[in-house]
Amino acid sequence: MERRVVSRKPILLSIAPVLLVLAVFSSSLSEAADSKASFEDNFDVTCPVDHFTTSEDRQIWYLSLDQKGGCGFKTKQSYRFGWFSMKLKLVGGDSAGVVTAYYMCSENGAGPERDEVDFEFLGNRTGEPYLIQTNIYKNGTGGREMRHVLWFDPTEDYHSYSVLWNNWQILFVVDGVPMRVYKNNGKENNFFPNQKPMYLFSSIWNADDWATRGGLEKTDWKKAPFVSSYKDFDVDACQWEDPYPACVSTTTDHWWDQYDAWHLSDAQKLDYAWVQRNLVIYDYCSDTERYPTLPEECSLSPWD
């Protein structure tokens, strides 16, 4: 795998086939469209009122960060397996040190037994590229980071960021393109979160101790407030109900947990290969300095 940031131009040139297969992929997802629902029905906001605003029609939500603190929201419901999607527009301009997180987690806080599926958007100095960091936690342990650059400026417009989660794979999807494939080896002590229902969260916070160039670039508070925007929440999933919802035993009745969603399609494989060639800048599965013995899931093929 190439571990470098390619210039914008070759990416743009090679995007045509991606857009083509993208159209095919998104049409196969149209079954999920009927589940669009409003933010207010689905989320609780977890920050002071002055850090949270909406558009007049309340369809767009804005989370802001300043020196007093950040902001976040969380789904009222938790889910086990499904399709989770939202459109985000990230903090523009000088956003070094600022992290917007969009993630699923089985708990409210950073508990020692939590499962987590993370998208984190690491801000940067004006004109320097945002990075997407993705990660998986199982029972409180993480360390499964990958980092990607994007083929567009995520601060200029809304783009969709989605997670497909079933018992075979977790896909991290950006505008319909599978950026990362995380597989389940099916063994008893696997590192695949598949037991605990998870909530969907988003938050914006200051992480200038590590985020941008490893913490070298500090947040410039003169540029505050930093604002990220959200719209078009879309969930098609098995909603959890204690003690055990019926849909847990029938998840295979749903498109997101059927054969086609257990593996990449041929079209998705093309996109995924393109991402691997052009956008990956860090993969823990290639970091033998950090993991002299690579975690077991690193040997699983995303192509199966």
Ligand X SMILES: *[C@@H]1O[C@H](CO)[C@@H](O)[C@H](O)[C@H]1NC(C)=O
List residues with catalytic annotation. Answer: 116, 120
Long-range CB pairs of 159-162 (<8 Å, 24+ gap) are: 159/87, 159/88, 159/89, 160/85, 160/86, 160/87, 160/232, 161/85, 161/86, 161/87, 161/88, 161/102, 161/119, 162/83, 162/84, 162/85, 162/86, 162/234
Q: Which residue is nearest to ligand X, using beta carbons?
A: 128
The least distance separating ligand X from the CB of residue 118, rounded to whole angstroms, comes to 15
The least distance separating ligand X from the CB of residue 175, rounded to whole angstroms, comes to 20
The least distance separating ligand X from the CB of residue 154, rounded to whole angstroms, comes to 12
Q: What one-character DSSP code corresponds to residue 56?
A: T
The least distance separating ligand X from the CB of residue 156, rounded to whole angstroms, comes to 17
Nearer Cβ to ligand X (3/76): 3
Distance, in Å, from the CA atom of 148 to the CA atom of 4, rounded to the nearest integer, reads: 10
* Element housing 268 (H / E): helix 266-278
Q: Among candidates 71, 116, 115, which has minimal Cα distance to 91?
A: 71
Selected from 66, 128, 220, 287, the binder of ligand X by CB under 6 A is: 128
Residue with tokens 């994007």: 150
Q: Among candidates 197, 220, 222, which has minimal Cα distance to 84?
A: 197
Non-local (6+) Cβ contacts of 196 within 8 A are: 80, 106, 114, 115
Nearer Cβ to ligand X (75/95): 95
Tell me the CB-side half-sphere exposure of residue 56, using CA atoms within 13 A. Answer: 0
Q: Is residue 42 packed enough to be buried (19+ CB in 10 Å), middle (13-18) or exposed (0-12)? A: middle
The least distance separating ligand X from the CB of residue 125, rounded to whole angstroms, comes to 6
Selected from 122, 150, 174, 261, the binder of ligand X by CB under 6 A is: 122
Nearer Cβ to ligand X (35/139): 139
The least distance separating ligand X from the CB of residue 189, rounded to whole angstroms, comes to 7
Selected from 129, 223, 255, 286, the binder of ligand X by CB under 6 A is: 129
* Element housing 25 (H / E): helix 15-28
| SS3 of residue 33 by DSSP | helix
Site pattern 197..236 for ligand X (x: CB under 6 A): --------------xxx-----------------------
Selected from 71, 131, 204, 227, the binder of ligand X by CB under 6 A is: 131
Nearer Cβ to ligand X (129/142): 129
Site pattern 132..171 for ligand X (x: CB under 6 A): -------xx-------------------------------
Nearer Cβ to ligand X (64/212): 212
According to CB under 6 A, which residues from 77 to 116 bind ligand X?
112-113
| SS3 of residue 90 by DSSP | coil
Nearer Cβ to ligand X (140/143): 140
Distance, in Å, from the CA atom of 88 to the CA atom of 175, rounded to the nearest integer, reads: 11
The least distance separating ligand X from the CB of residue 249, rounded to whole angstroms, comes to 21
Selected from 64, 85, 124, 202, the binder of ligand X by CB under 6 A is: 124
> What is the crossing angle of helices 15-28 and 266-278, to 10°?
140
Nearer Cβ to ligand X (42/139): 139
Binding site for ligand X (CB under 6 A): 112-113, 122, 124, 128-129, 131, 139-140, 211-213
